[in-house]
Chain A
Amino acid sequence: MSSALIAADLAYWAQSLLRVLGGLVAVLLPAGTVVYLFLFKMMSFMQSRLGPMEAGPYGSMQLFAEVGKWLQKEDIVPANAQPEARIFKMAPLIVLASTFLLVVVVPFGPDAWFTDFEVGIFYALAVSSVSVLGILIAGWSSANKYSLLGGLRAAGQLIAYELPMVLAVVGVVIQAGTMNLQQIVVAQNAGSMFGWNGVGNPYILTQFVAFIIFMISVQAELTQTPFDMPIAESELVSGYMTEYSGFRFLIFFIGEFATAGVFAMIASVLFLGGWGVPFAWFGWTDMDSIDNWMNVVGPLILFTKMIVLVFFIMWVRFSFPRFREDQLQRFAWKILIPVSLVNIMVTAVLKVAF
């Protein structure tokens, strides 16, 4: 690993401050982009309308208007939730905390990372489940039957789809031989296919089944339509979010779309080669020989890949009606998990064979 560009000579507090600011940018920027680009514009265009047009040029300032509106609203705690008001108020923050913990391990460039974690992907999958706790707490402490139903459905769904997600990642981990996300990026970009290293070896080609399973699981983890049974607004009036208003609803909202962005980043790290370009293009061989400008270009490349993946997530979201609860569970347990287990076996056999 080459020496860090910026953070090397700074004091500990300055490094921490930089990391906090970087974390805020890495969470809020994708969230804002995703909401504006996809939720406001792409959804509208797919319904043959233009979406917000008044705030700023082409409605680009609409997000600030929305945030301003939410911040002005009253922070209501329902009467039945008063005994556990503190827990009720805490729940959205737990969901958002899970997103911030998740972005910590995402590598943005050869030196642009928050932590270089040896079991990065393991940690990422672990902390992504923390949001289930927040959702369950939110559903329970709202003291409302719809919220409780939504929270329980969310718990059941997120746990069911956690498994195929983990199993899909195992295929990648076997092939890369490491759990370190930085090493996975390097393994893909430094790799070659049958001696030809023109595009490296992005795992979307060799692990295509795992990629599909991973993206479906991400869709379910984010509770986006067709897997939005927990927040089904037409039957559960937004499930666990029903009783939240103002700032706390905003936190849930940011959490949802920031997690979409961060999951898309992790997916592009795992399957599309992350921040890297195929190393053969510039004659690099390993981490040490990468030019420093990749620390600037790398995040942009990762961001572009993230946008592409979120496009697919949102495209599916805006196209399909939702699954019924039993169909949803059956799909996870009877199709996705067996397929991903087979994928692991095949990957392991091929890894040993080659």
Chain B
Amino acid sequence: MAKPKVPGLFKGLGVTFGTLMRTATEGSNTIQYPHEKETPPIRARGVIALHEGNCTSCMLCARSCPDWCIYIEGHKELAPPRRAGGAPRKVNKLDRFDIDYALCMYCGICVEVCPFDALFWSPEYEYSEPRIADLLHDMTKLGEWMETVPEAPELEAGADKKGKK
């Protein structure tokens, strides 16, 4: 089925006119944001949430952050021993865990590097602020984002099998 040869000039005009008619009849590809909202994909990189209990303040995230937007301070505390008669445990207690979203470039290295699953991606994206200083999210705020973190999707078949290496 040979299509008739159309000069490129008219083909170009046809493309724009076709898009014009399609937008007029079927609607545009864009959405009117503040009035209607798009559901982001489940693994969208919206904001980083902190699961405080998992954090050992090992500083790996802060050190791997390309623009140094994570600030961590912590101290060691003694916790009661696990077994009766044992020595008291030393645990790391977070004093400060801030992410400056004015600096963050959403590369996700901190989430990847965290060895204890303390950081998670959440698809929430509506947290703009009139003042730039308010983009520094502290530990409490980062903890609140945990509620928006979706359940991890099911692993693909065979992904959890421990094979021989």
Do B30 and A50 have beta carbons less than 8 Å apart? yes
Return the chain B residue nearest A321 by Cβ: B12
Do B16 and A50 have beta carbons less than 8 Å apart? no
Do A48 and B29 have beta carbons less than 8 Å apart? yes
Knowing A45-B28, A50-B30, A53-B32 touch, does A320 contact B12 (C-beta < 8 A)? yes
- Residues in A with CB closer than 8 Å to B23 are 44-46, 48-50
Do A48 and B19 have beta carbons less than 8 Å apart? yes
Do B12 and A315 have beta carbons less than 8 Å apart? no
What CA separation (Å) do A242 and B20 show in the bound complex?
31
Knowing A315-B13, A319-B12 touch, does A45 contact B19 (C-beta < 8 A)? yes
Query: Is B76 an interface residue, CB under 8 A from the partner?
Result: no
Query: Is B63 an interface residue, CB under 8 A from the partner?
Result: no
Do B13 and A48 have beta carbons less than 8 Å apart? no
- Residues in A with CB closer than 8 Å to B17 are 46, 315
- Residues in B with CB closer than 8 Å to A49 are 23, 28-30
Knowing A315-B13, A315-B16, A318-B16 touch, does A45 contact B24 (C-beta < 8 A)? yes
- Residues in A with CB closer than 8 Å to B20 are 42, 45-46
Query: Is B15 an interface residue, CB under 8 A from the partner?
Result: yes
Do A48 and B30 have beta carbons less than 8 Å apart? yes
Question: Within the complex, which residue of A46, A316, A320 is in contact with B19, where a contact is CB–CB below 8 Å?
Answer: A46
Would you call the interface of chain A mostly helix, strand, loop, or mixed?
A: helix
Do B28 and A319 have beta carbons less than 8 Å apart? no
Would you call the interface of chain B mostly helix, strand, loop, or mixed?
A: helix
Query: Is A47 an interface residue, CB under 8 A from the partner?
Result: yes
- Residues in B with CB closer than 8 Å to A318 are 16
Cβ contacts B62-79/A at 8 Å (1 or 0 each): 000000000000000000
Cβ contacts A296-325/B at 8 Å (1 or 0 each): 000000000000000000011011100000
Query: Is B22 an interface residue, CB under 8 A from the partner?
Result: yes
Query: Is B133 an interface residue, CB under 8 A from the partner?
Result: no
For chain B, the bracket of interface size reads 10 to 19
Return the chain A residue nearest B18 by Cβ: A46
What CA separation (Å) do A50 and B33 show in the bound complex?
12
Give the Cβ gap from A135 to chain B, nearest Cβ, in Å. Answer: 28
What CA separation (Å) do A353 and B43 show in the bound complex?
77
What CA separation (Å) do A53 and B22 show in the bound complex?
18
Return the chain A residue nearest B26 by Cβ: A48
Cβ contacts B1-40/A at 8 Å (1 or 0 each): 0000000010011011101101110001110100000000
How many residues of A are in contact with the other chain, CB < 8 A? 14
Knowing A315-B13, A320-B9 touch, does A50 contact B19 (C-beta < 8 A)? no
Do B30 and A319 have beta carbons less than 8 Å apart? no
Return the chain A residue nearest B29 by Cβ: A48
Return the chain A residue nearest B24 by Cβ: A45
What CA separation (Å) do A241 and B23 show in the bound complex?
32
Cβ contacts A43-75/B at 8 Å (1 or 0 each): 011111110010000000000000000000000
Return the chain B residue nearest A50 by Cβ: B28
Return the chain B residue nearest A317 by Cβ: B16
- Residues in A with CB closer than 8 Å to B32 are 50, 53
- Residues in A with CB closer than 8 Å to B28 are 44-45, 48-50
- Residues in B with CB closer than 8 Å to A53 are 32
Q: Which residues 58-104 of B sit at the A interface, judged by CB distance below 8 A?
A: none
Return the chain A residue nearest B27 by Cβ: A50
Q: Which residues 18-50 of A sit at the B interface, judged by CB distance below 8 A?
A: 42, 44-50
Do A46 and B16 have beta carbons less than 8 Å apart? yes
What CA separation (Å) do A42 and B23 show in the bound complex?
10
Interchain Cβ contacts under 8 Å between A and B, 14 examples: A42-B20, A44-B28, A45-B24, A45-B28, A48-B22, A48-B28, A48-B29, A49-B30, A53-B32, A315-B16, A315-B17, A316-B13, A318-B16, A320-B12
A: residues with CB less than 8 A from B are 42, 44-50, 53, 315-316, 318-320
Q: A48-B28, A320-B12 are in contact. List 20 more A-B contacts (CB 8 A).
A: A42-B20, A44-B28, A45-B23, A46-B16, A46-B17, A46-B20, A48-B22, A48-B30, A49-B23, A49-B29, A49-B30, A50-B30, A50-B32, A315-B16, A316-B13, A318-B16, A319-B12, A319-B13, A319-B16, A320-B9
